[in-house]
Structure 1
């Protein structure tokens, strides 16, 4: 089953893709990411995407220096080679000129090359989706053996960050939806979120998520160094 009508294979996906480098922000296939767009370069990017295929690639800077340069329009920090392409599935404009959009993840990609900027204020890459063709098919099998335990652990982690979670929708969610939602909202570092993105499949992502959660809880209770680099 294809992720979107009209996108039956990776050959249907755009051959060029605007990218939005944003540290600590994760987009995964079939998951929704709300974004508040206000910088002029990204307002232009969204406007151009809406006139074309409505697709944007989410990536993360791969260095601490790159994370610090996110708000510099002239900076082009290096980014991780793997990101996720999303389709704009909701769009609205505000009275003060912002754009509120929702990106729905379609397929991960590897960056082949970055194109010269030309007169565009945002960055454009050539993506290779071939290693991630399985992203276009939903995962329907059971992955989690202890959903309630995982949610209890996340309650502890959120509480340590002064956050609270509402799990009212979790009961009816598929394992894929729950794993991806937890990965996206987790208060983990950009490096750790990249590990979740690059997990080979959903089962591996669940294992990485559980390992990161165990590490976070151990640090909270006693203190051990992080192992995801």
Structure 2
């Protein structure tokens, strides 16, 4: 898989240890693009380090059920996604606006203390099967996905750029809809953990159908 100017296709293309950005509700998927507004000093330092290094950052959600410890950082979900920093700009008021391009999912193995680093780092296991995700495009039930997405938009009186949607491949379509639809943290983690593009699409269809069954007047973005 090519991301930016780099091709990732083997274990040696990934470092053993990556900095991790824990963010509730953030969903980065292989082949997807995630814009981020960075303002906390520890994550500004993380971006500075990434820019001067391999530009790789792990996006992971805090654990959905366990409370954060008093003297340590929050517990994190085991599964996240590693992304490459492909866009970067300074705002003039101390913030960075960046874009991460998803490469593959990762499993966090153990936390590693990095001297003088204010952010957290982990040893990772990359899901190399995600690097060939483009080959899974024909397996997606695009008709089912488009049908339920149209129904969702209609029920909320929303518009879409249908010309761009029709041009998009299944990988871009599934990832974009997963990232733009207003799900809660648990649902986004379930989409991330789907074992294939086909499974992710089917999970998305089921979630949208559940939202439709609840009616447009229900403003909650979680399905539980």
TM-score with structure 2 length normalisation?
0.86
Give a deviation string over 1:18-72, Cα, whole Å, max 9, x none.
1111111100011111111111111000000011100000000113675xx7xx9
Deviation at 1:169, TM superposition (A): 1.6
Match of 1:102 among 99, 103, 109: 99
* Count of residue pairs the alignment pairs up: 216
Secondary structure, counterpart of 2:20 in structure 1: strand
Give distance in 2, aligned partners of 1:13 and 1:65.
30
Secondary structure, counterpart of 1:112 in structure 2: strand
Residue in structure 1 matched with residue 113 of structure 2 by the alignment: 116
Q: Mean alpha-carbon deviation: is it higher for 197-206 or for 145-154?
A: 145-154
RMSD over equivalenced CA pairs, Å: 2.6
Secondary structure, counterpart of 2:34 in structure 1: strand
- Does 2:12 align with 1:14? no
Residue in structure 1 matched with residue 152 of structure 2 by the alignment: 154
Q: Alpha carbons of 1:213 and 1:6: their partners in 2 closer, same or farther (altered >3 Å)? A: closer
Secondary structure, counterpart of 2:124 in structure 1: strand
Task: Give 1:25-174 correspondences, 5 Å limit.
Answer: 25-63=26-64, 76-116=73-113, 118-129=115-126, 132-140=127-135, 141-142=137-138, 143-146=140-143, 147-156=145-154, 159=156, 165-174=160-169
The answer to whether the 8 A contact 1:3-1:137 is kept is no
Query: Which consecutive unaligned segments of at least 5 residues does structure 2 have?
Result: none
Give distance in 2, aligned partners of 1:30 and 1:221.
30
The answer to whether the 8 A contact 2:62-2:76 is kept is yes
TM-score with structure 1 length normalisation?
0.85
Give distance in 1, aligned partners of 2:94 and 2:152.
36
